[in-house]
Structure 1
């Protein structure tokens, strides 16, 4: 739950470890592991969303210029969340750093709460089911695969971030125009 609120903790490792324990001892049911992880992810993300909504945007408006995030770039961020926020929240659940900050960013960028809740719940349940189920079914073998797959997903995520930065740099003015057209002026 804390990881989903924006605190960088090893939530995925805790989930896999608990599912491994459940699979090897059968003292905890897989359903209980999935339900607990899903609820913790959903509740934590909603707290993170609320924090982003209440203090995220004011902090970005006040201090964003120090990090080259002016009003035009803030508007582009809101535009991206308006257009692709559901995908960011859902798939962000499967990427370590994005899992930590997706809810905060969604709140700060004024994503509609009901849509955030839907995509967050779907992502949280899918994430918990996939990772806990794999650890439960495949036991210790998942530990051998988890490292390389996690590294691969991290490399793919870095690739997407880099490609996104290149795309943004090349199309920044066009994106600013689209954002202004979609959202209006401040």
Structure 2
């Protein structure tokens, strides 16, 4: 079966549920490839397999609900939560990751929740860590919704339109070539994001040692 025919037979409801579920679970603090799933779904939308608006909407709902549940869990269990996660997922929740995330939260407050949606390691920390650090829920919710809408909507729209433009240019070329163009676009996006993260790390490294005494964020 031709790849296009195979894609057309994927039930759209399966894609929508998968997007919402994976992003929601990732936002709880479980390391899953939420961004990859969202990009893949947006590519399917550019091939008219699913509706891009519903893809973005499911991603937003998953992100907001997942982060909110993660916030509640973090607020209830505190630092012991990260100790348990560190034993289970040492590559994602090691002491250096926790320290880096806390530094970002204490420096940026609620904006760490917003911008954290665009940074892989902060995306899985945002909800639980905001709860652990006792960020007021109304501040968390505002940043959570704004970040979820901007990240999910922006990613879906960008990948969708790149796919549409590439498909028009390559209308008479195989879908292998189309996939290659899309992969290059995704790689370029990841490179730019990595450079932004490196810039953030350099800025954090330039901060004076010691820091401020630990207090509830935004209180």
Asked if these proteins are the same fold (TM beyond 0.5), I'd say yes
SS for the counterpart of 1:27 is coil
SS for the counterpart of 2:193 is helix
Q: Distance in 2 between matches of 1:110 and 1:165?
A: 25
- Correspondence for 1:148: 188
Q: 1:53 aligns with which of 62, 70, 75?
A: 75
Q: Alpha-carbon deviations, 1:35-68, whole Å to 9, x = none?
A: 100000001101111111111245579xxxxx69
Q: Distance in 1 between matches of 2:198 and 2:112?
A: 14
- Correspondence for 2:160: 136
Between 1:149-158 and 1:11-20, the stretch displaced more is 149-158
Q: Distance in 1 between matches of 2:81 and 2:150?
A: 32
Displacement of 1:162 in angstroms is 4.1
Question: Are the structure 2 counterparts of residues 121 and 133 from structure 1 closer, same or farther at C-alpha, using a change threshold of 3 Å?
Answer: same
Q: Distance in 1 between matches of 2:26 and 2:76?
A: 19
- Correspondence for 1:101: 125
Q: Give the conservation status (yes or no) of the 8 Å contact 2:74–2:81.
A: no
Q: Distance in 1 between matches of 2:208 and 2:127?
A: 22
Matched, 1:91 2:131: no
Ranges in structure 2 where 5+ consecutive residues have no aligned partner = 1-23, 84-94, 164-178
TM-score (norm 2): 0.65
Aligned length: 163
Q: Give the conservation status (yes or no) of the 8 Å contact 1:6–1:100.
A: yes
Displacement of 1:81 in angstroms is 4.4
Query: RMSD of aligned C-alpha atoms?
Result: 2.8
Q: Give the conservation status (yes or no) of the 8 Å contact 1:96–1:154.
A: no
Higher helix share: 1
Displacement of 1:102 in angstroms is 1.3
Matched, 1:2 2:25: yes
Ranges in structure 1 where 5+ consecutive residues have no aligned partner = 62-66
Q: Distance in 2 between matches of 1:152 and 1:166?
A: 22
Between 1:154-163 and 1:2-11, the stretch displaced more is 154-163
Between 1:81-90 and 1:120-129, the stretch displaced more is 81-90
The structure showing larger relative contact order (alpha-carbon pairs under 8 Å, at least 6 residues apart) is: 1
